[in-house]
Amino acid sequence: MFFKRLSRGSRSNSYIEDFADDNSPSRSPHAPLDSPRASNHQHNTLPDRGISDRGIPSTPTTKDAPPFDSKEMYSRSQPPADPYARAAHTNGMSHGSRNSMAVDPAPSKAEGAPDMLLRAWAETLRPYTDKIEQLENQVADLQNFIDQLEHQRGEVHSWIDKRGLRPDVPPSIAKVMDAQPDAATTLNAQLDRKITIVNFDLHRLQDDLNDSISTAHFASAMTKFLPDISRLSALPGGGAKFGFDLILKLGGNLNSHGGLDSGDPADLSARRDFYAQLDQAMVEVVRRRFQDGEDWPVGREIKRIEKTAAYLRNFGVEPYFPATLDAMRREVDYRGAAPQGGVPPAAHSPPRYQ
């Protein structure tokens, strides 16, 4: 590489690099013009040359200069990025239409990461989901077992009712059976039948012995039904009405037993005690019957009891249901004092059941 100084007439104070002749085909058609400004810019940008020991710049050689490549001078590593395209890609829009809301369908390399996270999360939850599934299966099995037990319980209850043993079941079973809608009607029918059977058996035993059974023994057999009658009167659906009729039936059975004309003081005392127990149980039944609000002809029931009491009075047996008659009369007076559809006057008070 050699430098030559041009004459003053042409271009003074400028240097050019004699790479090749002007007519050489290797010269780039886009080479800069041979002007002083260009020559000075080129001169100032030349690489530093070595300096000799004498302080005189050494003449560069072709070995020291790097190979020149015109392609590398203007080459770019990447094309210029379009800012609109980058914003559109960020917002999920395509490069062709910046205002479009379409999602870029080009797949991303990071799409595999969520799938791996989901799989890891599913593997973490697998023990818990398996446990939940196991518990659900256990619940289903227990539900089937409960259904079988309920079916068996229904069969046992049907067997009990078929043989008339509902009054004799334990309290735990009685509580379940009394919760049925027709519990009052069923229990009343079985109690009525059982009382009838016991009364018939006592009369037949008396006939077989050719001797009268004492009133105390007969009353003891009838008194055993009072707890079941109290249970019946507490049931909804007419339980109090059924209990009222059954208590009167117990008293009628003792009256049909006979022995009133004997005048035995022990017999009369046993009868008074038995009627007193019936009277005490009847007061509670009457109170519940009034609370039910049923259409009950109280006056007719009062006359019925008074008629039986007058009959027993002839044999020296009295009183007969005195507390029951008092409670029923007070209720009738309380209802009669109230105007039609109104509240009774303050002078009257509702009956008190002791």
Instruction: Kindly report, residue by residue over 118-155, the tens digit of the pLDDT.
Output: 888 888 889 999 999 999 999 999 999 999 999 999 99
Distance CA 27, CA 93 (A): 47
Distance CA 100, CA 285 (A): 86
Distance CA 30, CA 20 (A): 15
Burial of residue 347 (number of CB atoms within 10 Å: 0-12, 13-18, 19+): exposed
Q: Which of 5-9, 45-49, 157-161, 259-263 has the lowest mean pLDDT?
A: 45-49
How many other C-beta atoms can be found within 10 angstroms of the C-beta atom of residue 58?
Answer: 12
Q: Hey, what's the torsion of the CAs at 96, 97, 100, 101, to 10 degrees?
A: 40
Q: Hey, what's the torsion of the CAs at 249, 253, 256, 259, to 10 degrees?
A: -130
Reading the block at residue 25, the tokens are 């085909």
pTM here is 0.58
β-sheet bridge partners, residue 17: 3
Which tops the pLDDT comparison, 145 or 348?
145
Q: How many residues does the chain have?
A: 354
28-47, pLDDT tens digit by residue? 444 444 444 444 444 444 44
* SS3 category, 349: coil
Quote the distance between the C-alpha of residue 45 and its chain's center. 87
E-strand ranges in 221-348 read: none
